[in-house]
């Protein structure tokens, strides 16, 4: 585990703001016909009028809050910054088409470091077929800030909101939960060991899956495609960024309903189960309170059960109930507990 220093270090000052922008944005292809004008003018121009309504989402990542340059390789960080944003667009059941990237850079960051960050950003753009159409570059007195805006599209009637879950709907999730949180715990543990004993080699080899889910997550574009191919529109949807419990609370609060979750229905990767136990944590609690899974949680009309049953990587883990019944977990042991919304809190209340 070492700081992201390459052998060569070019100060940003040697290129200047405009030189740096030219350097990182040269040879940027665009693949979407809706991108009319990309980087280079005062503003980008896009046209989604033929494809449907436009969906926009923005996110800011702050050094020390959302990432730690000690264990976030810049290339992965760039990739993840894009993925986190695209995930919000998929959570609306829309297709992302364009992104903008704004950076505030401290003097710790070299030209080579920005290059690495952009390698990750560009590689995510290529994989998810989105165009990088603009941004802003400025200095920061300390710490790095990355702001991303994603722009997507879909037919108005296919957009899915958080406030439209109905009593009787089935509560579903893609993929598995809790792995990214444990990946972070492992990285934090190794960082602490390294700080206590500099020079020590981190022992990360055996936990590649968990660490990969933390450092290089993917967004579930395949779910949005799967829904479309199978003539399915979820009744509500949200992406799992702050932990399952927190997302269930958002859906329930906004839809005016309650939910019952089967502990046995929460999908967990075997590595998650094993590592949770090593950390003396309850695996279901890790899934409920962890976060950064970037899976999609959604509700479907029970009449669509047949369609969902045979789709890959979709897990039915509960049901939407009357608001008066609250939000509860039915444990494997047969008990029923209220779920607390203990997701990631950025501004803890003391």
Chain residues in the site for Mg ion (CB under 5 A): 136
Residue 117 beta carbon to ligand ADP: minimum distance, rounded to whole angstroms:
9
Output 43 or 280, the one with its CB closest to Mg ion. 43
Q: Burial code of 209-219, b = ≥16 C-beta within 10 A, e = fewer?
A: ebbebbbbbbb
Task: Please state, in angstroms and rounded to a whole number, the distance separating the CA atoms of residues 249 and 257.
Answer: 10
1-8 LR contacts (CB < 8 Å, sep 24+): 1/70, 1/71, 1/190, 1/191, 1/194, 1/202, 3/69, 3/70, 4/69, 4/73, 4/74, 4/113, 4/116, 6/110, 6/112, 6/113, 6/116, 8/112
Q: Please, what is the Cα angle at 131 between 88 and 120, to 5 degrees?
A: 75
Longest CA–CA span in the chain (Å) reads 65
Which run of H or of E encompasses 338?
strand 336-338
Task: Please state, in angstroms and rounded to a whole number, the distance separating the CA atoms of residues 292 and 303.
Answer: 31
Residues in 42-61 at the binding interface with ligand ADP, rule: CB under 6 A: 42
Selection from ligand ADP, Mg ion, none that 101 binds (CB < 5 to 8 A by kind) is ligand ADP
Which part of the chain contacts ligand ADP (CB under 6 A), choosing from 33-41, 171-179, 209-217, 218-226?
33-41
Output 130 or 240, the one with its CB closest to ligand ADP. 130
Which part of the chain contacts ligand ADP (CB under 6 A), choosing from 36-44, 55-63, 251-259, 328-336?
36-44
Q: Which of 96, 120, 135, 175 binds ligand ADP (CB under 6 A)?
A: 135
Residues in 195-254 at the binding interface with ligand ADP, rule: CB under 6 A: none
Which part of the chain contacts ligand ADP (CB under 6 A), choosing from 38-46, 47-55, 202-210, 307-315?
38-46
Q: Output the residue with the shortest Cβ distance to Mg ion.
A: 136
Q: Which of 40, 139, 305, 340 binds ligand ADP (CB under 6 A)?
A: 40
DSSP state of 63: B
Q: Does 136 bind ligand ADP (CB under 6 A)?
A: yes
Residue 170 beta carbon to ligand ADP: minimum distance, rounded to whole angstroms:
42
**CA dihedral for 5, 211, 291, 160, sign (positive or negative):** positive
Residue 145 beta carbon to ligand ADP: minimum distance, rounded to whole angstroms:
11
Q: H-type helices in 109-164, by residue range?
A: 111-128
Residue 342 beta carbon to ligand ADP: minimum distance, rounded to whole angstroms:
36
Q: Does 36 bind ligand ADP (CB under 6 A)?
A: no
Q: Does 291 bind ligand ADP (CB under 6 A)?
A: no
Residue 135 beta carbon to Mg ion: minimum distance, rounded to whole angstroms:
8
Output 136 or 322, the one with its CB closest to ligand ADP. 136
Q: Does 25 bind ligand ADP (CB under 6 A)?
A: yes
Distances (CA, A) of 101 to 112, 113, 130, 132: 17, 16, 12, 8
Determine how β-strand 95-105 pairs with β-strand 170-174. Answer: unpaired
Q: Does 101 bind ligand ADP (CB under 6 A)?
A: yes
Output 42 or 306, the one with its CB closest to ligand ADP. 42
Q: Does 77 bind ligand ADP (CB under 6 A)?
A: no
Output 82 or 248, the one with its CB closest to ligand ADP. 82
Selection from Mg ion, ligand ADP, none that 325 binds (CB < 5 to 8 A by kind) is none
Return the closest-CA partner of residue 211 out of 202, 200, 198.
202
Q: Does 316 bind ligand ADP (CB under 6 A)?
A: no
**Cβ neighbours of 17 (radius 10 Å):** 14
User: Could you tell me the two tokens for 40?
Assistant: 């280079």
Distances (CA, A) of 242 to 245, 275, 292: 8, 20, 6
Q: Does 134 bind ligand ADP (CB under 6 A)?
A: yes
* Binding region for ligand ADP (CB under 6 A): 21, 25, 39-42, 101, 103, 132, 134-137
């Amino acid at each position: 585990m070492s700081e992201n220093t390459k052998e060569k270090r070019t100060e940003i000052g040697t290129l200047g703001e405009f030189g740096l922008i030219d350097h990182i944005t040269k040879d940027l292809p665009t693949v979407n016909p809706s991108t009319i004008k990309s980087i280079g003018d005062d503003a980008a121009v896009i046209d989604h009028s033929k494809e449907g309504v436009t969906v926009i989402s923005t996110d800011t990542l702050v050094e020390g809050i959302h990432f730690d340059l000690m264990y976030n390789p810049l290339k992965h960080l760039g990739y993840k910054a894009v993925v986190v944003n695209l995930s919000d667009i998929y959570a609306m059941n829309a297709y992302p088409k364009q992104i903008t990237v704004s950076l505030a850079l401290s003097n710790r960051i070299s030209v080579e470091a920005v290059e690495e960050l952009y390698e990750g950003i560009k590689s995510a753009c290529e994989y998810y077929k989105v165009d990088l159409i603009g941004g802003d570059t400025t200095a920061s007195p300390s710490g790095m800030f990355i702001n991303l805006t994603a722009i997507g599209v879909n037919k108005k009637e296919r957009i899915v909101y958080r406030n439209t879950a109905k009593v009787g709907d089935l509560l579903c999730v893609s993929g598995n939960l809790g792995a990214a949180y444990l990946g972070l715990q492992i990285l934090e543990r190794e960082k602490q060991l390294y700080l206590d004993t500099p020079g020590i080699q981190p022992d990360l080899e055996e936990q590649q899956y968990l660490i990969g889910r933390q450092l290089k997550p993917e967004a579930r574009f395949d779910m949005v495609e799967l829904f479309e191919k199978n003539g399915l529109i979820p009744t509500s949807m949200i992406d799992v960024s702050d932990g399952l419990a927190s997302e269930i609370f958002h859906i329930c609060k906004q839809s005016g309903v309650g939910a019952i979750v089967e502990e046995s229905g929460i999908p967990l990767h075997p590595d998650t189960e094993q590592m949770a136990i090593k950390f003396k944590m309850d695996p279901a609690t890790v899934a409920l309170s962890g976060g950064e899974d970037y899976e999609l949680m959604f509700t479907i009309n029970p009449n669509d059960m047949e369609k969902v049953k045979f789709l890959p990587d979709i897990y039915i883990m509960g049901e939407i109930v009357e608001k008066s019944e609250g939000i509860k977990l039915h444990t494997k042991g047969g008990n029923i507990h209220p779920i607390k919304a203990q997701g990631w809190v950025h501004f803890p209340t003391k």
